[in-house]
A and B are shown apart, each in its own frame.
Chain A
């Protein structure tokens, strides 16, 4: 390290540490600069306290190094260390009647000569610490007789008397009420701000950490999983995974504050009362799920399990009706028939992370039968990897099940959150926003009509995605269209028609262009009885270039072709404003002029803007005025059309906020996903956003 470089206050490199046979920290590397105030958060057992203990030399690292202000911790003497680092523990107690002043004086232990009494400079430091923490008035009182908050203040005074450059705090406020909590934190904040002391605080209180620390480090299973500003670290997705429970994160856009709250648990829509769930478990993988389901008031059945299996014991303890097979035998027909009966009366079948072998693979019959009867089947994502059948039969059957449209879940918390919406009708968001909220007509693997019937009660709009090629077409029949129109009248539903995606309105080949226009006109004529809210069209030109930023080899020629196509389309009874040009891979500036001149509208596709790396807020600002349709979908693993919980919450919030502004334009917002799980997750996100939208609407 060169001398010119600033020395970090704390430098942790590849730290591994723990207790005898139990490694707790598994490779932590982190730099904390002088003057920082950092919060360390994470669930119980994550290794937060162990990290702190390693930093103070209470436990020796098994591997890795720790440097405090550039000095290797191992080489620092106890006295020197006490002058570098002070520790405020969760609570301090001494059984003996020391006065507050005597306690504070203990902070000078390392500085004093053996039998010395504090005098001169030491005395002044103690006085300063007493005054700083507002404990001077109680200097003569007995430490043990103080209240929790006063004790912590005295302890902070003691630590201050050490004159440390770094202060480590292990849940310093966990025993305190809110008033004292804030008081203590304010003292620490002042120390950090005025004296420039580096502060590292371990806390379970996410909100307190977010409020007082400018940087949070999230520790999970002995590793740092997230490190950054509170708004970056406290994300619902991350917290849900790390804490294995459902939380809501709210960002105050005005002051940048972040608050975390547990999601409402047993509200009526989260209760499983009156619903039956059959669980396929075994070998202990189901215990947590069974327990949570029973807690959430579902009627649970389980099987087939072998007698003596640890899940069978859990079932017995929880009074769960179980189909049992004799211990150590393969699942027989009699037990399977009984389980079949149970699963038959259940509303959903849940498959846990069971290792499948020849003995129990028959249990998958239960899931398949349920899925074929249109029941909800929820399978642990990745369970196919636990296939021990000689011919990979289980893995193959999982693929088949996936094709039948099952819901995948990731953790017990995830499952409990998914179940209500997967089972019941889920939240209804009809007429809940200032805009019309909709989704696509392909949520369940069925025709347009059944999808529309299912969605009509829950949303304001359905986007009908049409395609027509030589071999396959999903254009509805005339009867189907009149039925759709009837549903629309009855349920106050509107339709957005997505023009076929294989059209080439900007094709260089005039024949191709004409065919595309013809196709569009056919679809428009067919759907005219539906009085669609809008027609959405893609403007890309050449086959194979739909994902490239330059949609055609010759841009001017492309634009000319587009101009002609638009003219052709508008020659029918379609209003220009009804035709929406979707933002795609191409930079929208290229078609901006065509849209404006022909007074067309825009379909702002958030997922595409993200996928192709455009600046969302810039596009939003420029085009929102002309936008009639917004497509919402998230990105995951490089793929678009995923559920909208994958969208940055702050971004989604600002978009919805903008959409709630009354500007005289009626809009449709389409959650553009194509699957039940993505849809229900997105609906949950929107339901949670309803509160925000209401606040905005009220404010305006």
Chain B
């Protein structure tokens, strides 16, 4: 696999110049350390978003599903906004991610609660209530931002645009641990995910305990998304498109698809981030811009060539 090579290449890119930093000097070592942290965080976040997207696409049986479809991003955004504007985030580096995570998880619980209230959980109910709750969170956040002082507003906006530089090594390792654990959980349910793409009833008939598996899958996707968002803000595109591309490359069977999506998403985001900080150095472009701008055309090409293996309507 070319993945380690690409990751190594990412280490060589940065606003301080192209090429590996000189490890002989203290500055060089510090720069390398920063770059390593950042590449790892890019990989972890990219993997998480791609896996979450993959799970949601399978469970909701919808090609437009992505990690943010159930309002997790808006909820996390609201949580982060509250943390920043209330000054809580200044207390500890863990405070902001924690608030964002709590916001995201709470949103899923609300969405799930609304759509399951009718007695039977329906996929359309999930998507619809996701969109509604998401809109409410966004407006609340917008209201907060609009009434906030200028510097607060700036911090919130910057957070929302997404930034892969981890606030601390501890934060990075704990987030990475959560994401890695969830990933293995998803691997374990890949056979059930396969069955769930045929709908709840067929899955039920082949022996999947849909009443447990569906919330578990949704929970896993949310956990990953919330963890990723809490560390790096809202980065779009990865979670939507990487699962499709991965499916085009290895097929729809989740036993192969999940690892492929994780590696693909991680490498892709790390690369995009490296480009983002190098291209216009010393100005750093928001990574979300790069993912869509550079990834878009490339993946369009891949998709049109191999669409047959991705989604078939």
Which residues of chain A are near B310, meaning CB under 8 Å? 96-97
The answer to whether A98 touches B194 (Cβ under 8 A) is: yes
CA distance in complex: A78, B203 (Å): 10
Q: Which of B233-251 contact A (CB under 8 A)?
A: 247, 251
Cβ contact within 8 Å between B201 and A96: no
**B208 beta carbon closer than 8 Å to chain A:** yes
Distance between Cα atoms of A158 and B119 in the complex (Å) = 29
Contacting chain A: which of B167-175, B182-190, B224-232? B182-190
Partner of B207, one of A81, A98, A145: A81
Q: Does B22 contact A (CB under 8 A)?
A: no
Check B195 for interface membership: any CB of A closer than 8 A: yes
Which residues of chain A come closer than 8 Å to B62, judged between CB atoms?
95
Report chain A residues within 8 Å CB of B255.
Answer: 115, 117
Segment touching B, from A99-107, A215-223, A553-561, A657-665 = A99-107
Q: How many residues of chain A get a CB closer than 8 Å to chain B's CBs? A: 39
> Out of B63, B195, B199, B204, which one reaches A56, CB within 8 Å?
B204
Interface pair A115/B187, CB less than 8 Å apart: yes
Whether B29 sits at the interface, judged by CB under 8 Å, is no
How many Å lie between the Cα of A83 and that of B199 in the bound state? 19
Cβ of A57: which chain B residues have Cβ within 8 Å of it? 204
User: Are B63 and A95 in contact, CB atoms less than 8 angstroms apart?
Assistant: yes
The 8 A CB mask of B50-67 against A (1 = contact, 0 = none) is 000000001001110000
A603 sits at the interface (CB 8 A): no
For residue A79, which residue of chain B has the nearest CB? B207
Q: A87 vs B204: C-alpha distance in the bound complex, in angstroms?
A: 10
**Residues of A with C-beta under 8 A to B308:** 97, 142
Q: Are A82 and B206 in contact (CB under 8 A)?
A: yes
Check A89 against B202 for contact (C-beta < 8 Å): yes
Cβ of B154 under 8 Å from chain A = no
The yes or no answer to B91 lying at the interface (CB within 8 A) is: no
Whole-angstrom CA separation of A317 from B58 in the bound complex: 48
A110 to B213, CA, bound (A): 13
Known: A92-B198, A102-B253, A106-B195. A97 touches B204 (CB 8 A): no
Contacts of B198 in A (CB 8 A): 92-94, 103, 106
* A94 and B197 within 8 A (CB): yes
| Residues B247 and A109 in contact, CB atoms below 8 Å apart | no
Complex contact A83–B311 (CB within 8 A): no
* A110 and B189 in contact, given A58-B201, A94-B197, A94-B198 (Cβ under 8 angstroms): no
A20 within 8 A of partner (CB): yes
Q: Is the CB of B312 within 8 A of A142?
A: yes
Least CB distance from A49 to B in Å reads 11
Closest residue of chain B to A20 (Cβ to Cβ) is B119
Return B237 CB to nearest CB of chain A, in Å.
20
A162 on the B face (CB < 8 A): yes
Contacts of A95 in B (CB 8 A): 61-63, 197, 311-313
Question: CB within 8 Å of B: which residues of A?
Answer: 20, 56-58, 78-79, 81-83, 85-87, 89, 92-99, 102-103, 106-107, 109-112, 114-117, 142, 144-145, 158-159, 162
7 nearest A-B residue pairs (beta carbon): A110-B207, A82-B207, A144-B312, A96-B252, A87-B205, A78-B209, A114-B188
6 new A-B pairs (CB below 8 Å) besides A86-B205, A99-B251?
A93-B199, A94-B198, A102-B251, A106-B195, A106-B206, A145-B312
